[in-house]
A and B are shown apart, each in its own frame.
Chain A
């Protein structure tokens, strides 16, 4: 159990560093087309153990979001989106619960079937990105921009997370 906590904390920190040091530098935008944003770090929230108590999930998501915000100089925006995702996570998990419940509790969500993981990731990322870009624009006047940002960033971020998933999935 102790090892599980340690590996989660380590993953948390590594993902945070990857986001702020590598993903922040990726810029695929050309001219007036400014809709690509690479948001990789939500995977850290998604991969937290299934049986982790909700308040802890919320608090760690808040901490993660604030850390990212400090680097992005946008205090509160990432944090609000990741707290929202953390709260929504338990409901998404409930909807997607396989027959017979989560049997892999101790080994973590990354070892679930790949198809299950894709739907889990997609739902979560749509929610996360929609909240994030709404907070970023802060007014529904910019609805079109929020949708475009969500769409393009979704494609980019999800592909990156899936690549990560393929590489680091523990081989069984």
Chain B
């Protein structure tokens, strides 16, 4: 037995060594080279992105009617905000008004079934999308950009156990973290709300605006269920999200114009 093994080893030794060395090389390539490792992690961006887009060109036709209705609704909502007094006041607040730009994008691939849900958009670096930007739809927060390639980008959906969005309860102004536990694609969790806060079922949860990712006040969802957690001292709050991620098509990528300046400032203040 051992002798057979040895003869095989002698006969094909160099082939084994060759395969072994190539595996070592591949390991090194994937671990120490940025572009290769991104392709390895994220081949969906390059190859499957274009395939999904072709497929979506066919299927998007089927949902045109729904899309049209959604856009019409959005138009109506925008019109009403334009007329409201609040808008004029906000317009004068130039700091808030001018910080964010929205890049419209279409979803070419989406998943809500796994723990690691990702969305692929048909815009990428060429259109100014960068890693870390927020993604919203007319119905609220969708996720955060994870990877970008030239013409596609992968978004870590809010329905991903790795995603964490800073949110607050609109009525009380209490700050918490929105995460997803990975069971129900319609429910996310609002964490670290202390138990003295008078939380009411039906309260709206919005983005806090304390991060550079999302503008303040983007809708996330409605509080559906509140329960005490004696172990942590915080509430366990279930939030049903406004956006139906399984039927999304049109989203907006949030570009924070002064993002670089904020980062620079953070770096300077950290050094002091």
Q: Is the CB of A75 within 8 A of B18?
A: no
Q: Is the CB of A55 within 8 A of B46?
A: no
A58-B21, A80-B22 known; A138 vs B14 contact (CB < 8 Å): no
Q: B27 contacts which chain A residues (CB < 8 A)?
A: 76
Task: For B33, give its contact among A77, A86, A90 (CB under 8 Å).
Answer: A77
In the complex, per-residue mask of A34-58: 1 if CB is within 8 Å of any chain B CB, else 0:
0000000000000000000011001
Q: Which residue of A lies closest to B30 (CB)?
A: A76
Q: B39 contacts which chain A residues (CB < 8 A)?
A: 138-139
Task: For A76, give its contact among B13, B18, B28, B46 (CB under 8 Å).
Answer: B28
Q: B43 contacts which chain A residues (CB < 8 A)?
A: 139
Q: Is the CB of A138 within 8 A of B25?
A: no
Q: Is the CB of A138 within 8 A of B21?
A: no
Q: How far is the CB of A51 from chain B (nearest CB, A)?
A: 14
Alpha-carbon distance between A79 and B18 when the two chains are bound, in angstroms:
11
Answer yes or no: B210 CB below 8 A from chain A CBs: no
Alpha-carbon distance between A83 and B29 when the two chains are bound, in angstroms:
14
Task: For A141, give its contact among B13, B31, B47 (CB under 8 Å).
Answer: B47
Alpha-carbon distance between A56 and B119 when the two chains are bound, in angstroms:
48
Alpha-carbon distance between A58 and B19 when the two chains are bound, in angstroms:
10
Answer yes or no: B32 CB below 8 A from chain A CBs: yes
Chain A's interface size range is 20 to 34
Q: Is the CB of B18 within 8 A of A138?
A: no
Answer yes or no: A122 CB below 8 A from chain B CBs: no
Alpha-carbon distance between A80 and B39 when the two chains are bound, in angstroms:
17
Q: Which residue of A lies closest to B14 (CB)?
A: A54
Number of A-B residue pairs at CB separation under 8 A: 69
Alpha-carbon distance between A141 and B10 when the two chains are bound, in angstroms:
38
Give the number of chain B interface residues (Cβ < 8 Å): 24
Q: Is the CB of B21 within 8 A of A62?
A: yes
A87-B14, A138-B40 known; A80 vs B25 contact (CB < 8 Å): yes
Q: B28 contacts which chain A residues (CB < 8 A)?
A: 69, 75-76, 79
Answer yes or no: B36 CB below 8 A from chain A CBs: yes
Q: Is the CB of A76 within 8 A of B33?
A: yes
A75-B32, A80-B22, A80-B26 known; A58 vs B47 contact (CB < 8 Å): no
Q: A126 contacts which chain B residues (CB < 8 A)?
A: none
Q: Which residue of A lies closest to B47 (CB)?
A: A141
Q: Is the CB of A59 within 8 A of B17?
A: yes
A55-B13, A139-B46 known; A74 vs B33 contact (CB < 8 Å): yes
Q: Is the CB of A135 within 8 A of B29?
A: yes
Alpha-carbon distance between A152 and B35 when the two chains are bound, in angstroms:
23
Q: How far is the CB of A74 from chain B (nearest CB, A)?
A: 6
Interface residues of A in 46-99 (CB under 8 A from B): 54-55, 58-59, 62, 65, 69, 74-77, 79-80, 83-84, 86-87, 90
Given contacts A55-B14, A65-B25, A79-B24, 7 further A-B contacts (CB under 8 A): A58-B14, A59-B21, A76-B25, A76-B32, A77-B25, A86-B18, A139-B46
A-B contact pairs, 22 of them (CB 8 A): A55-B14, A58-B21, A62-B21, A74-B33, A75-B28, A75-B29, A75-B31, A76-B24, A76-B27, A76-B28, A76-B29, A77-B33, A79-B24, A79-B25, A80-B22, A80-B26, A83-B25, A87-B14, A135-B36, A138-B35, A138-B36, A139-B39
